Amino acid sequence: MTHPALTMLSEEEKLFRDTVLGFARERVAPHVARMDEEGALDRSLLPSLFEMGLMGIEVPSEHGGADGSFFDAILAVEALATVDPSISVLVDVQNTLVLNAILRWANDAQKAKYLPKMTSSWVGSYALSEASSGSDAFALKARAERRNGTWILNGRKLWITNAAESSLFLVFATTDPALGYKGITSFLIERDFPGFAVGKKENKLGIRASSTCELILEDCHVPEENVLGEVGKGYKIAIETLNEGRIGIGAQMLGLAQGAFDYAMRYMNERKQFGQTIASFQGVQFQYARVAMEIEAARLMVYNAARLKDAGKPFLKEAAMAKLFASEVAERTASLAVEFLGGVGFTKEYPIEKLYRDAKIGKIYEGTSNLQLQTIAKAIQGEYSGR
């Protein structure tokens, strides 16, 4: 079916979205249940993601990218998530976090070295979180010391998405704990750098095919030219990149909600009880009418935040709202979808229970719901106090 917000897309955007959606349904869908059961990505899907340009959407064509917009990346993340949020977050982190940071903060030499690889075969990871620094992101303890023209990093990172598949890691460490957030610096670390290792993969509730691993840095040698941006400016890179990444998570949760809703509606229009389809009962109609309204509202919020970002306008509050609301809608929609299917919705024979498990992460990563509320409240307070 056509959703109202989609009528606002240009013909090129519609074609792009439909192409990604078709790929997800034809190429990804057959692998989803097995990947979830095994807790691992089917790596045979990676070449196709690169060939389609989905792993370098905003990267200029001179570096092998698709020359697309941030909004295009959001459309891709949404479309993929309707089939599998795990594949969706792989593409999301690659585009809205890792490549976003490189495009904005890397120097010409770094772009020339890494962008062609990132658009053709390399997956990337964004490594900020640690055991002691989750929501308090800048309480990190990973240390970076300059010795004889080389940076030596020590510490551990946790909850790093794409880590099992990645060849390049955007790692944040402090050069001087006494400086607080002003000592934080961002480094581009290749997988085979001495002293760097990917640790255990987490056994997760949802998005199980998406790898989430620990990173271990033990006297990890990083060339001085692999500092991203300026020394001591890593906090700025982290904050600004995460603000944009939250729109990507909003898109992932939006796609998840739409996928769960579509499946449930098809089922309810086929399944009959008491001589009529489940979708015909008024009590059920009131439920799915509200769900459809919330999904459409989430879509408008996500699209608006992405459009504002592309237009170079302030979007901090809108990104937080989109991420928060879309994650809430995804969880409610997936939960109701399980109920709409009844007993079979509770089994692994149908995809809804997986989407229900996948939805929970939306309220947690890239800023918890409480942090989003705090961001929104501060923005509103600033708007009114400035009057």
Average pLDDT, the chain: 96
User: What's residue 386's pLDDT?
Assistant: 67
* CATH number of the structural domain spanning residue 146: 2.40.110.10
Per residue in 363-374, pLDDT (tens digit) is: 999 999 999 999
What share of the chain has pLDDT > 70, as a percent? 98
With a cut of 90, say whether residue 6 has pLDDT above it: no
Residues 301 and 342 in one domain: yes
With a cut of 80, say whether residue 387 has pLDDT above it: no
User: What's residue 1's pLDDT?
Assistant: 59
Residues 59 and 71 in one domain: yes
Beta carbons of 57 and 95 less than 8 angstroms apart: yes
Helix ranges (H only) for the chain are 11-23, 29-38, 46-51, 70-81, 85-92, 100-105, 108-118, 234-268, 282-310, 316-341, 352-359, 369-385
Residues 380 and 240 in one domain: yes
Residue 120: count other Cβ atoms within 10 Å of its Cβ: 15
The pair of structure tokens assigned to 332 is 């409610």
Residues 17 and 110 in one domain: yes
Rounded CA separation 102/221 (Å)? 20
With a cut of 80, say whether residue 118 has pLDDT above it: yes
Domain boundary among 74, 96, 122: 122
With a cut of 70, say whether residue 279 has pLDDT above it: yes
With a cut of 70, say whether residue 357 has pLDDT above it: yes
With a cut of 90, say whether residue 232 has pLDDT above it: yes
Q: Quick one: average pLDDT of 44-69?
A: 98
Domain boundary among 102, 122, 142: 122
With a cut of 90, say whether residue 15 has pLDDT above it: yes
Q: Quick one: average pLDDT of 358-383?
A: 96
Residues 240 and 183 in one domain: no
Per residue in 159-216, pLDDT (tens digit) is: 999 999 999 999 999 999 999 889 999 999 999 999 999 999 999 999 999 999 999 9
Residues 51 and 128 in one domain: no
Q: Quick one: average pLDDT of 109-120?
A: 98
User: What's residue 133's pLDDT?
Assistant: 81
Q: Which residues pair with 188 in a beta bridge?
A: 170
* CATH number of the structural domain spanning residue 284: 1.20.140.10
Domain residues for the domain of 250 are: 236-385
What is the pTM assigned to this prediction? Answer: 0.96
* CATH number of the structural domain spanning residue 11: 1.10.540.10
Q: Quick one: average pLDDT of 275-280?
A: 96
Beta carbons of 76 and 54 less than 8 angstroms apart: yes
Residues 323 and 346 in one domain: yes
Q: Is 11 a catalytic residue?
A: no
Residues 380 and 279 in one domain: yes
- Size of the chain in residues: 387
Q: Quick one: average pLDDT of 281-293?
A: 97
Residues 133 and 79 in one domain: no
Q: Which of the four pLDDT bands, split at 50, 70 and 90, describes residue 2?
A: low
Domain boundary among 201, 232, 263: 232
CA 289 to each of CA 117, 293, 308, 381: distance values in angstroms, whole numbers, following the listed order: 46, 6, 29, 34
Residues 298 and 365 in one domain: yes
Q: Which of the four pLDDT bands, split at 50, 70 and 90, describes residue 38?
A: very high
User: What's residue 75's pLDDT?
Assistant: 98
What share of the chain has pLDDT > 90, as a percent? 94
Per residue in 87-109, pLDDT (tens digit) is: 999 999 999 999 999 999 999 99
Give burial (CB, 10 Å; 0-12/13-18/19+) of 303: buried
Number of domains making up the chain: 3
Per residue in 129-149, pLDDT (tens digit) is: 998 887 776 789 999 999 998
Out of 13, 294, 366, 383, the active site residue is 366
